[in-house]
């Protein structure tokens, strides 16, 4: 049985912490930043974590 390949799109967008949580950067921080409020942009700076079945699906695509 060959090894499962890591999903290229997932490895660019997600990472796992030491405790096994799946970490990602918030979307909507790329462009058109002038029309977004200061507070909204500030909140987008912080990343977030994915929980539940979505996290296990992403871990499988990462090969973990």
Residue 15, pLDDT score = 96
Domain for residue 16, yes or no? yes
Domain for residue 1, yes or no? no
Domain for residue 2, yes or no? no
Residue 52, pLDDT score = 93
Domain for residue 21, yes or no? yes
Residue 3, pLDDT score = 86
Residue located via tokens 């049985």: 1
Domain for residue 51, yes or no? yes
Structural domain harbouring 48: 8-28+35-62
Q: Which are the contacts of 46, defined by CB distance < 8 A and separation ≥ 6?
A: 26
Query: What's the maximum distance between 2 C-alpha atoms anywhere in the chain?
Result: 52
Domain for residue 3, yes or no? no
* pLDDT greater than 90 at residue 1: no
3-61 pLDDT, tens digit per residue, is 889 999 999 999 999 999 999 999 999 999 999 999 999 999 999 999 999 999 999 99
The tally of domains found in the chain comes to 1
Residue 47, pLDDT score = 92
Residue 33, pLDDT score = 96
């Amino acid at each position: 049985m060959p090894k499962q390949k890591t999903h290229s799109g997932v490895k660019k967008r997600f990472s796992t912490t030491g405790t096994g949580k799946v970490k990602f950067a918030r979307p909507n921080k790329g462009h058109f930043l002038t029309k977004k409020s200061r507070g909204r942009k500030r909140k987008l700076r912080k990343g977030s974590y994915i929980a539940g079945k979505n996290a296990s699906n992403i871990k499988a695509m990462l090969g973990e």
